[in-house]
Amino acid sequence: QLQLQESGPGLVKPSETLSLTCTVSGGSISTSYYYWGWIRQPPGKGLEWIGSIYYSGTTYYNPSLRSRLTISADMSKNQFSLELSSVTAADTAVYYCARRPGDHSSSGPKHAFDIWGQGTMVTVSS
Amino acid sequence: QSVLTQPPSASGTPGQRVTISCSGSSSNIGSHPVNWYQQLSGTAPKLLIYGNNLRPSGVPDRFSGSTSGTSASLAISGLQSEDEADYYCATWDDSLNGRNVFGTGTKVTVL
Q: What is the mean pLDDT of chain A?
A: 96
> pLDDT band at residue A103, thresholds of 50, 70 and 90?
confident
Indicate the pLDDT class of residue B1, thresholds 50, 70 and 90.
low
Q: How confident is the model at residue B97 (pLDDT cuts 50, 70, 90)?
A: confident
Alpha carbon of B25 to those of A57, A89, B4, B93: distances in Å?
A: 30, 31, 8, 9
Percent of chain B with pLDDT over 70: 99
User: Do the Cβ atoms of B45 and A60 come within 8 Å?
Assistant: no
The distance of B87 to chain A (nearest Cα, Å) reads 10
Which secondary structure element, helix H or strand E, spans residue B53, and what is its range? none
A109 touching B, CB under 8 A? Answer: yes
Identify which of B33, B100, B104 has the shortest CB distance to residue A49.
B100
pLDDT value of residue A39: 98
pLDDT of residue A104: 86
Query: Could you tell me which chain B residue has the CA closest to the CA of A61?
Result: B99
Number of CB pairs, chain A paired with chain B, less than 8 A apart: 65
pLDDT value for A106: 83
Judged by a CB distance cut-off of 8 A, whether residue B37 touches chain A is: yes
The pLDDT of B26-39, averaged and rounded, is 97
What residues of A are in contact with residue B46 (Cβ under 8 Å)? 116
DSSP 8-state secondary structure symbol assigned to residue A121: E
For residues B49-64, average pLDDT: 96
pLDDT of residue B78: 96
Across A39-58, average pLDDT: 97
Percent of chain A with pLDDT over 70: 100
**How many Å lie between the alpha carbon of B77 and the closest alpha carbon of chain A?**
23
Q: For residue B29, what are the CA distances in angstroms to A50, A78, A117, B62?
A: 20, 33, 26, 23
Q: Return d(Cα B87, Cα B1) in angstroms, integer.
A: 17
